């Protein structure tokens, strides 16, 4: 992966179908993921950022950074499309969210 092709931006409503598709089998055995249940709430949450990792105009990962108050932050829901795993995207997510 070329690091200049990866960028982060807030998740957009139009990303939902793509995100639900690559998170569906996160836990294996064709089990769906809770991301579909929290997507709309995370999108509307003003306390942090629901972030998309994007390569070549395609969302390849997501994570949610939530402000819990008292200088406490929660990094949750990190998911990387299986096709894009093992490329350092999760590490870049961590760096991006720490910088926020």
Residues 28-69 have pLDDT tens digits of 676 678 899 999 999 999 988 999 999 999 999 999 999 998
pLDDT confidence band for 14 (50 / 70 / 90):
very high
Judge residue 87's burial from the number of C-beta atoms within 10 Å of its C-beta, 0-12 exposed, 13-18 middle, 19 or more buried.
middle
| pLDDT tens-digit readout, 70-98 | 888 999 999 999 999 999 999 999 999 98
Rg (CA), the chain: 13
- How far the first Cα of the chain sits from its last, in Å, is 23
């Amino acid at each position: 992966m070329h690091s200049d092709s990866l960028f982060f931006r807030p998740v957009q409503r139009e990303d939902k179908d793509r995100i639900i598709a690559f998170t569906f089998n996160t836990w294996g055995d064709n089990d769906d993921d809770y991301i579909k249940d929290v997507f709309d709430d995370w999108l509307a949450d003003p306390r942090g950022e629901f972030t998309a990792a994007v390569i070549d105009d395609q969302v390849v990962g997501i994570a949610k950074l939530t402000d819990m108050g008292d200088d406490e932050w929660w990094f949750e829901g990190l998911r990387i499309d299986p096709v894009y795993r093992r490329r350092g995207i999760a590490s870049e997510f961590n760096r991006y969210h720490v910088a926020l």
